[in-house]
């Protein structure tokens, strides 16, 4: 089914990787071509932070994107993003704070290769502390896999700090992160009640999965998620979200 025929439009893919991540297999050019072929209006380049083994460079690559890569290329909006690793339960990430203004969209995620999973309480505290840090715009794959989370506390904090929660299509596929569908249903019902922004992403590590958002869209439709809170429904809704985030942290 074409993107235009769905109840919920997801015109941007807000979580994608390139070869910079070390364990992903496509170049930026290949991802741009894939985005165009899928009918997207744009996507966020969100390579992993340097605490992830195998990542190329020290995160400076995202700073230079502003000079090297156009913001819009052949009608595709290219968002300078970053998937920072939460590296302690104080909420610290591996994106140097001086680099933060160069990034338009900072996702912070828990990965067991970068931080040892803890109790539900401590995992939740780590995520909330990252939101409170002022250097994060979204929480990546809060799917409860390996890192159980208190979704009521997470959604209340996300509302308080104006942070988006990610609906990660890759988590929902169940190939990598187990069956997390029931967790997302619980999360999204609470997020809807608490008026929290959400961001859908493919978490693509190879160009063929750029724009693969069907399962995220299905679950958002299932809970009848308010369209105005889905930040990647259009370029305009994303730009409005980062305009609001710009009040919280400097974005150049
Ligand atoms: Zn990855
Ligand atoms: Zn991730």
Ligand nearest to the backbone CA of 168: 2
Distance 101 CA to ligand 1 centre (A): 23
Asked if 94 and 49 count as a contact pair (C-beta separation under 8 A), the reply is yes
221 pLDDT band (50/70/90 cuts)?
very high
Distance 112 CA to ligand 2 centre (A): 10
Q: Helices in the chain by DSSP H: which ranges?
A: 28-38, 60-68, 120-132, 151-161, 169-173, 181-193, 214-222, 235-245
For residue 217, CA distances in Å to 34, 50, 77, 96, 172 come to 19, 31, 20, 33, 11
Distance 52 CA to ligand 1 centre (A): 8
SS3 107: strand
17-50 tens-digit pLDDT: 999 999 999 999 999 999 999 999 999 999 999 9
Residues in the chain: 252
155-179 tens-digit pLDDT: 999 999 999 999 999 999 977 777 7
Distance 252 CA to ligand 2 centre (A): 24
Who wins on pLDDT, 217 or 248?
A: 217
Distance 46 CA to ligand 1 centre (A): 9
- Max Cα–Cα distance, the chain, nearest Å: 46
Q: What is the DSSP letter of 163?
A: P
Distance 104 CA to ligand 1 centre (A): 19
Average predicted confidence (pLDDT) for the chain: 95
The CA distance from 19 to 179, in Å, is: 27
Distance 235 CA to ligand 1 centre (A): 25
Asked if 46 and 15 count as a contact pair (C-beta separation under 8 A), the reply is yes
Q: What percent of the chain has pLDDT over 70?
A: 98
142-152 tens-digit pLDDT: 999 899 999 99
The token pair at 30 is 């290949």
Distance 111 CA to ligand 1 centre (A): 9
Distance 140 CA to ligand 2 centre (A): 6
SS3 80: strand
Distance 10 CA to ligand 2 centre (A): 20
Quick one: angle between helices 151-161 and 181-193, nearest 10?
50
**Per-residue pLDDT, 159:** 98
Distance 47 CA to ligand 2 centre (A): 9
What domains does the chain contain, in order, with CATH numbers? 9-236 (3.20.20.140)
Distance 145 CA to ligand 2 centre (A): 11
Distance 205 CA to ligand 1 centre (A): 7
Instruction: Check whether 4 has a pLDDT greater than 60.
Output: no
SS3 228: helix
Ligand nearest to the backbone CA of 111: 2
Q: pTM surpassing 0.75?
A: yes
Q: What percent of the chain has pLDDT over 90?
A: 91
5 pLDDT band (50/70/90 cuts)?
low
Asked if 6 and 183 count as a contact pair (C-beta separation under 8 A), the reply is no
Distance 83 CA to ligand 1 centre (A): 9
Q: How buried is 203 (Cβ within 10 angstroms: 0-12 exposed, 13-18 middle, 19+ buried)?
A: buried
Sign for the CA dihedral angle at 94, 166, 104, 128 comes to negative
**What are the backbone angles phi and psi of residue 148, rounded to the nearest 5°?**
-60, 145
């Amino acid at each position: 089914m074409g993107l235009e025929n769905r109840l919920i439009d997801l015109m941007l893919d807000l979580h994608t990787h390139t070869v910079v991540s070390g364990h992903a297999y496509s170049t930026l050019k290949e991802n741009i071509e894939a985005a165009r072929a899928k009918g997207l209006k744009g996507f966020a380049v969100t390579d992993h932070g340097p605490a992830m083994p195998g990542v190329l460079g020290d995160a400076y690559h995202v700073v230079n994107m502003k000079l090297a890569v156009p913001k819009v290329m052949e009608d595709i909006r290219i968002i300078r993003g970053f998937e920072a690793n939460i590296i302690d339960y104080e909420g610290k990430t591996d994106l140097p704070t001086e680099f933060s203004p160069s990034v338009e969209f900072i996702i912070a995620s828990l990965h067991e290769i970068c931080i040892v999973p803890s109790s539900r309480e401590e995992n939740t505290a780590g995520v909330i502390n990252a939101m409170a840090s002022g250097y994060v715009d979204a929480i990546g794959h809060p799917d409860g896999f390996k890192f159980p989370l208190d979704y009521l506390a997470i959604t209340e904090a996300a509302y308080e700090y104006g942070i988006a929660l990610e609906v990660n299509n890759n988590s929902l596929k169940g190939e990598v992160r187990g069956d997390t569908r029931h967790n997302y249903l619980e999360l999204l019902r609470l997020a809807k009640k608490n008026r929290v922004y959400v961001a859908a992403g493919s978490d693509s590590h190879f160009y063929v999965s750029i724009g693969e958002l069907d399962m995220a869209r299905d679950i958002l439709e299932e809970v009848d998620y308010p369209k105005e809170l889905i930040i990647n429904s259009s370029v305009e809704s994303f730009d409005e979200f980062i305009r609001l985030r710009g009040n919280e942290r400097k974005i150049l």
